Copies of this chain bind each other. A is one copy, B any other.
Amino acid sequence: MENMKQRRTIRKYQSKDIPAELLNDLLETSFRASTVGNMQAYSVVVTRDAARKEKLAPAHFNQPMVKAAPVVLTFCIDLNRFSKWCEWRHAVPGYNNFEWFVTGAIDALLVAQTFCVAAEEKGLGICYLGTTTYNPQMIIEALELPELVFPIATVTVGWPDECPNQVDRLPIEAIIHHETYRDYTAEDIDRFYAYKESLPENKQFVLENNKETLAQVFTDVRYTKKDNEAMSEALWNAMKAQGF
């Protein structure tokens, strides 16, 4: 557990490869994660080929990890395999809907995170690419995902070539609620966000972006309402186009 407490996201990797046996062992371990009805409503696409990474990179806003990591994993919701099994067994599947998009996402994400914990235990470094839900359609095309398959998380994996500082987290009492949800007062928010707001790197972001508060860096620069709404629509359309 010490390993899990000390973890940091790794964005720079050595050029050293990941042996297929190790990768398969880590993936097999991750497939022991809980899954709804033991249906395993997920698939994992392994990208090692430079040309394929080249195709995938624009979907991830050309973040350098995509081409620099020896392995890129795309964890997908997959109701295609299960539905095919049903059809070839004289059973009528009913998994092309929102409920199973979400259920498949849960299945796939438990696998993704189990993989990451296991990989870090073996000394590998990982980075989740938040861009997966921004440009799903480009990923669907690059990986040739059929109907009822949808990319939900992308993880770059490799041997660490950096040891960044651990980033801050909110105090645990900001996250944990007892028995019922206790909504936040202005005083709670001040207390819980004080440390984050006090960090020199965050003060620097405020200055650099010519903003008054750190929150404005998020709302006006990083994740604007306008961008979020455009991404919502694209995500929804991609989900529908994949048959959910």
Contacts and interface: CB of A to CB of B under 8 A. Distances in A.
A94 B225 contact: yes
A24 to B, nearest CB: 6
Contact of A91 (B29, B218, B229): B218
Q: List the 10 closest pairs (A to B, CB-CB), nearest first.
A: A94-B225, A89-B215, A91-B215, A89-B213, A113-B113, A109-B109, A91-B219, A99-B232, A98-B232, A97-B232
A43 to B, nearest CB: 6
A18 interface: no
Given A102-B105, A128-B34, A213-B89, A175 B27 contact: yes
Given A176-B46, A218-B39, A189 B103 contact: no
Contacts of A176: 24, 27, 43-44, 46
A143 interface: yes
Interface in A159-211: 166-170, 172, 174-181, 183-184, 186, 189-190, 192-193
How extensive is the interface on chain A, given as a class?
Answer: 35 or more
A42 interface: yes
B149 A181 contact: yes
A152 interface: yes
A228 B37 contact: no
